[in-house]
Amino acid sequence: MMMPNPYVVPYQEIHAIVHENQELVELIEVPSCFGGGGWAIHHYSKRQNVIEARQCGNSFRYLVRVGRCEEEFRSPDKAAGIVEVDVVSDRVFITYGGLGGGGVGATLCRALAKGVVSHKLSPSGGEKYAEGVLELVGRRRVVIGVDNTDSKDRGATWALAHNIAKAVENSDVVYLSHAIVQLYPVSKKTQNCTATVVEFGCVRGKEDELVGRFCELVLEHTLSDETGVAVWVGFDCSHLIDFSRRARHGWVELEEALELRNNGVRFPIEGDGVIGAVASLPYYSRVMEAPKVD
């Protein structure tokens, strides 16, 4: 059987979330070959410019400092990685490098991914060192927490949130992650007492349009009069973790949740479900941690 590119496995998607001060970028990669992604995170995580590297569902994430890393590559333990991250206006330029097969992954495989605006590549393969520069859209993170859309008889918030997230996705808005967050089993719960958080990478200026469309679909399909939606726009909402832990371990009043407006949280739909909706926010992309009560 003829294969047009037998040594190229294109990544599915690559996206970049830019910190407000433009000193950090979270790079989100979705490989087609999971083994290749696993090899990459092992090597890439050793680079001095990578603060954190982790798996999230079918994606791999790298929190990277903006700037150039002059650390040399060597085989077999540091054979590939991110050489430089540069933010210019609304674009992010990622320079990848690698030796041998790692160079193929650093160039051709990533250049063909959804989310790549343009690329510039050196020859790769064999024993060569290869380097590639990918141009990506610089995106803002939009995190939406949802709770109380189901009833005692039917529905499932996690499913509705996922389907709405898929429905609102377009070239300006990419759907990045979904997590089901366990809450304290209060008396008003349905069956499992969970909330759902979905994460998007949004072109700057399109955040309100995304939230508005998402909430329209929530209101159209919810089965509850106590639906709550909470929204965070920004690079990180870890400051909400204390509230989240309280809601995951005991009773929290509605007013306590709504007071978090003062901490940057938006409440486009304000039923009792906002308690769980807010509590879910800091667990975006923490797919394996969210179902566990810590």
pLDDT given for residue 95 in this prediction: 95
pLDDT of amino acid 104: 75
Q: Spell out, as residue ranges, where the chain has pLDDT lower than 70.
A: 1-2, 124-126, 153, 186-192, 294
Dihedral angle over CA of 204, 262, 161, 137, nearest 10: 20
What's the pLDDT score for residue 90?
A: 95
CB 280 within 8 A of CB 232: no
What pLDDT does residue 280 have?
96
pTM over 0.85: yes
pLDDT in the model for residue 290: 86
Residue 107: predicted pLDDT: 83
What's the Rg (C-alpha) of the chain?
21
Residue-wise pLDDT for 26-71, tens only, equals 999 999 999 999 999 999 999 999 999 999 989 999 999 999 999 9
Q: What confidence score (pLDDT) does residue 72 get? A: 92
pLDDT at 128: 77
Residue located via tokens 């992650």: 177
Cβ–Cβ < 8 Å for 150, 157: yes
User: How high is the pLDDT of residue 181?
Assistant: 95
Domains, the chain: 13-138 (no CATH), 140-283 (3.30.70.2200)
